[in-house]
Amino acid sequence: MSDVAARIFELRAEIAEHNVAYHVNDAPTIPDGDYDALVRELRALEAEHPELKTEDSVSQLVGAPVSTVFQPVQHRTAMLSLDNVFDEDELRAWTDRLVKAIGGNVSSLAFSVEPKIDGLALSITYEDGEFVVAATRGDGRVGENVTDNVRTIHNVPQQLLGKNTAGVLEIRGEVYLAKADFLDMNERQRAAGLKLFANPRNAAAGSLRQKDSRQSALRPLSFLAYQMVFDDAPQLQATMTSHAATLRAMDAFGFFTAPETTTQVGVDAMLQRVDWLETHRHDLAYEIDGVVIKLDDLALREQLGTTSRAPRWAIARKLPPEERTTRLLAIEVSIGRTGRATPYAVLEPVVVAGSRVAMATLHNEDQVAKKDVRPGDLVIVRKAGDVIPEIVGPVLEKGRRRARAWLFPVDCPDCGQPLARVGEESDTYCVNPACPAQQLQQIIHFGSRGAMDIEGLGEQRVAQLLGEGLITDVADLYELRVEQLSGLEGLGELSANSLVRAIEDSKVMPLSRVLVGLGIRHVGPVAARALAQSFPTYDELSHSSFDNIEGIVGVGPVIAASVVRYLEDRENRERFERFKNAGLALSEPSLSTDVAPTLSGRAVVITGSLDGYSRESAEEAVVLRGGTSPGSVSKKTYCVVVGEAPGASKVNKAAELGIPTIGADQFEELLTTGTWKATTS
Ligand code: IVH
């Protein structure tokens, strides 16, 4: 493989992991600016080497794979992303491209200039004016059904106001937490002794994706509408020729739209307004991470069209990172689940880009030395609408004596064993596998949402179980009994039962989730899925060789070596044996890629049991064919499949609304043909 191909390969894998961290786990691990830099590097390499570009490269994708917590929803019209520009020259280059493509005079083009709200994209479908479904962007084609949670958002109309609402219409916009609501919410978290949210975007994402809509309802989310999509609303569509008109119409329907949005004619006026928004970004009620510029004329948009990931008629001008100065109080070291010892800065709290920053990572020993920051220094903290704040460097103050250069500790701050730097790496590790800090982080990670998703196994609980000597390894979780837990501080019989049940439920998790949960080096969710799809059981995986593993698409030599090393280790083998004995499935359901989308966009309600299917697998069969399988019957239901011992309410509701019902024996036919033959009985 050439160096370029290897780099492209590496970038794709890295970006895919970050996509999952950001979109699925709501827990990004690098600043947005660094992510943008990776994507730019990948695009540049792919542009120079078109022979290496693939349709499914992450550079062509939008967002991330859909999580399994919510039902999938297929978007009728793809939810695209926006291309970014980072300065005025790039913005002008975009307008030049527009003029080249559509002709005409740049001084007469009208642009909508809008704040780019830093939240989560949401699409809400209305049928004949009635709210029917709300979905996140997901991978752009399939999103997550968050209808129940969105119904709790105060400014989302359940019914559109006004008359011209016939047909199917999507209102797209951003779900976000207003700055004031975010501060209030964190204040309440603090008062209740709960973890604080890092910034409004993460808090909004976490709130929208609560499994229990009653929890979502407690979060002060808001929705701002910025786009109208006419799925099938010809009457309304005929009256709309400009984006500005759609914004007015959305206002009239009862939505909130950005009051700062204006239409500007000509490039100079547009650029001036972009500057204005940049200057006033802190005066707005919400966090913004850029300015969106859209062509106002809908017919011209149609003419320009889209690429596979973004429209050609819109662009996002990302705003430069924000910086603040504050005092560096101390440098401490934390131990992660792999034993990595990461130095971090303890800061006098400062508000940067709308969120309170009291800590910032310093990455590793070399970074601290390079930046030469010392306890007591005044330092510059930077955030680029970002998640993880970073220290830029010290501000040297005249006449102030500085502390001596900081030295990396020799021993692990948790277990006291010596720390080690391995080979050429800049990272320092605690190599004691029995280090309690590592065990704590490993078990938390195992139970986390992207891994085994064990509800109730948060940081405090794990620390308590470790402290009580009930667990030291993830395999110990499966031996916990209710009697051991009930009576521990803060754990009554009820919560002890729920925790044991949640652990029990996790046994069916697919092999890929177990691999993610074990935190094998270099194996993130994308690699784990690739591995488990090629070796769908633990036994097959554990008998595979380095060459077999390296041959899998998406798995390079580094990952393969790490997996082989992990699986050869005696302790790790023993852990898998214990998993097996405890009854973990350790297998990956096969992904059938060859099924036809016979039920695309159709809602099939299932009631009662169907021979040969569990409830989950029957619903999955519908979803695999592009349909949805909601839990209740409505006017929009395509049909109701009535199995053994059906629910009376669903059958009655179907009769009341005139929705066809079919028997269990017609389910296969429905799956393969998308329809069924009427039976006369
Ligand atoms: S228009 C097809 N307008 O930014 C283009 N997006 O980085 C649809 N965003 O996915 C997007 N404010 O979640 C548009 N005024 C605005 C926006 C906006 C925030 C988000 C949106 C989009 C992302 C792209």
Nearest CA to ligand 1 atom 4: 116
Q: Is the same domain home to 338 and 257?
A: no
* Residues carrying an active site annotation: 116
Question: What domain count does the chain have?
Answer: 4
Interstrand relation of 262-265 and 120-127 (parallel, antiparallel or unpaired): unpaired
Position 426 confidence tier, pLDDT thresholds 50, 70, 90: confident
Would the pTM count as exceeding 0.85?
A: no
Q: Which of 474, 413, 482, 484 is nearest to 444 (CA)?
A: 474
Residue 68 scores a pLDDT above 70: no
Residues forming a β-bridge with 294 = 112, 314
CATH of residue 107: 3.30.470.30
What is the model's pLDDT at position 432? Answer: 94
Task: Compute the distance from residue 184 Cα to the ligand 1 centre, in Å.
Answer: 26
User: Residue 588 CB: number of other CB atoms within 10 A?
Assistant: 24
Q: Residue 600: what pLDDT?
A: 81
Q: Please check whether residues 17 and 156 belong to one and the same domain.
A: no
**What separation in Å is there between the alpha carbon of 82 and the centre of ligand 1?**
7
Say which CATH number the domain at 39 has: 1.10.287.610
Q: Is 452 among the domain residues?
A: no
User: Ligand 1 centre and the CA of 175: distance in Å?
Assistant: 11
Q: 201 with 271, same domain?
A: yes
> Residue 55: pLDDT band by 50, 70, 90 thresholds?
low
- Residue 475, pLDDT > 90, answer yes
The per-residue pLDDT for range 504-554, each reduced to its tens digit, is 999 999 999 999 999 998 888 878 988 998 999 999 999 999 999 988 876
Pocket residue to mutate for ligand 1, from 116, 123, 139, 227, most atoms within 8 A of Cβ: 116
Residue 308 shares a structural domain with residue 335: no
What pLDDT does residue 59 have?
A: 63
Assigned domain for 95 exists: yes
Domain end position, chosen among 404, 421, 438: 421
The answer to whether residue 132 sits within a structural domain is yes
Residue pLDDT, tens place only, 110-135: 999 999 999 999 999 999 999 999 99
- CB of 446 closer than 6 A to ligand 1? no
Decide: 114 in ligand 1 pocket, CB within 6 A: yes
Q: Same domain, yes or no, for 304 and 180? A: yes
CB distance 225 to ligand 1 below 6 Å: no
Which residue has a Cα nearest atom 18 of ligand 1? 116
**What is the Cα–Cα distance from 477 to 488, expressed in whole angstroms?**
16
The CATH number of whichever domain residue 352 belongs to comes to 2.40.50.140
Give the residue from 318, 335, 364 where a domain finishes: 318
Atom 17 in ligand 1: which residue has the minimum CA distance? 116
Please check whether residues 382 and 342 belong to one and the same domain. yes
Q: Give the mean model confidence (pLDDT) for residues 600-610.
A: 87
Percent of the chain past pLDDT 90, that is, above it, reads 56
Averaged pLDDT for residues 230-241: 96
Most confidently modeled range among 148-152, 200-204, 235-239: 235-239
The residue ranking higher by pLDDT, 556 or 419, is: 419
Answer whether residue 359 is part of any domain. Answer: yes
* Residue 474, pLDDT score: 97
667 lines ligand 1 (CB under 6 A): no
Query: With bands split at pLDDT 50, 70 and 90, how would you rate the model's confidence at 636?
Result: confident
277 close to ligand 1 (CB < 6 Angstrom)? no
SS3 of residue 162 by DSSP = coil
Q: Which atom belonging to ligand 1 lies closest to the Cα atom of 84?
A: 7
Average pLDDT, the chain: 88
Tens-digit pLDDT profile for residues 356-408: 889 998 989 999 999 999 999 999 998 754 457 889 899 888 888 999 999 99
- Reference 81, options 6, 176, 201, 174; nearest CA is 174
Question: Taking the chain, what is the end-to-end CA distance rounded to the nearest angstrom?
Answer: 65
Check whether residue 116 and residue 163 sit in a common domain: yes
What's the token pair of residue 29?
A: 């691990």
Per DSSP, the residues of 181-207 read HHHHHHHHHHHTTPPPPSSHHHHHHHH
Residue 106 has pLDDT above 90, yes or no: no
Lowest mean pLDDT among 193-197, 339-343, 423-427, 529-533: 193-197
Q: Are residue 156 and residue 284 in the same domain, yes or no? A: yes
Q: Is the pLDDT of residue 680 over 50?
A: no
Residues 329 and 226 occupy one common structural domain: no
Residue 25 clears pLDDT 70, i.e. is over it: no
Average pLDDT over residues 323-345: 93
Domain assignment of residue 120, given as a range: 80-318
